Chains A and B, each alone.
Chain A
């Protein structure tokens, strides 16, 4: 009898996003949240916790990495450093 696996995300303080910290086993969401508090925030590392059933995470595949992320590869003009700025001008 194995409990479902949950992924744990912790917001370390107000103003920052939740960050993945690890996983744990728990029979339900309520227990997962309680366990996450004890396992991942024993030293006040968080002000908010998310737990998500691991089975619900949909991930991109490392093997598709190239074709998946390729479209952004040939678009350097999306970065400000692509453009020449005349010497001496500011506020550009």
Chain B
């Protein structure tokens, strides 16, 4: 059968732009600009890396969860994070990326994960604060991504968001138990909020004026709201929750402004330092990830050897 000659570049670009303008989804085999593909691979890989590195701060508490109920919940949550990483690596592969190569880039420190996971979870209350604040912020970021212009990423986000609503709720519930508990438990809860509040605000990325790639991502329909808009939504949603818990947001400048709450200045030098690898746990997190990968090598090799010996195993 004769194939029609492939359309010329300008025509492909026009089709792509029209599809974006009409708010239609781009699918894996559609033509797309190299920059669009590269931006998505970078963002989806970074997102996937964040999910699997994000298993560490909480995974650390599984053996010390205060009850069987909390332990079962925490195991399910950490398992979900692994699953979310896999949905995202799968989405990245539809763009031609190879997931083992992406893992290499993570392990070599050449691709990033969210700065938030470079902070330590030093008490049980931190597990509660992570669910409430970190997952709360992640949901705020991820819900608009369910309408992202790239189909496989949008669909992966729909699954992730459905599953994550339990993550935030279990954290808030655990936090309320502590906030209504003994004075020692209240102190634990307040201490966790004190340490996680500002890093959670930084999860939305640098202020709009200092976010160089945002405009292009918005134009491509990858990003739907600016960093500052999403951060403001998170603050507006979370301050009343803290009030309900009877906990104090660690920001003396926080005040009401009509329908919004305005925060004090975020310390962006801290964010930059953590990005550069100088957060409290950067080295441990990366080392633990590399170790897990290397320690698991024999399992992958054994499975591959078995598959080779039994080619029809189904």
**A interface vs B, CB < 8 Å?**
1-3, 5, 21-31, 38-39, 42-43, 59, 61-64, 67
Contacts and interface: CB of A to CB of B under 8 A. Distances in A.
A21 B87 CA distance: 9
30 contacts: A1-B300, A1-B301, A2-B100, A22-B91, A22-B152, A23-B90, A23-B93, A23-B94, A24-B86, A24-B90, A25-B99, A27-B300, A27-B303, A27-B304, A27-B306, A27-B307, A28-B307, A28-B310, A28-B313, A29-B314, A30-B314, A31-B303, A39-B83, A42-B76, A42-B79, A59-B29, A61-B29, A62-B29, A62-B30, A64-B4
A33 B118 CA distance: 34
Interface residues of B, number: 35
Q: Please report whether the interface of chain A is mostly helix, strand, loop or mixed according to DSSP.
A: mixed
Contacts of A26: 303
A22 B160 CA distance: 13
Interface of B: 3-4, 6-7, 27, 29-31, 76, 79-80, 83, 86-87, 90-91, 93-94, 98-100, 152, 155-156, 159, 163, 300-301, 303-304, 306-307, 310, 313-314
Contacts of A64: 3-4
Contacts of A28: 303, 306-307, 310, 313-314
Given A3-B304, A25-B99, 9 more contacts: A1-B100, A1-B300, A2-B99, A27-B304, A28-B313, A39-B87, A42-B76, A42-B83, A64-B3
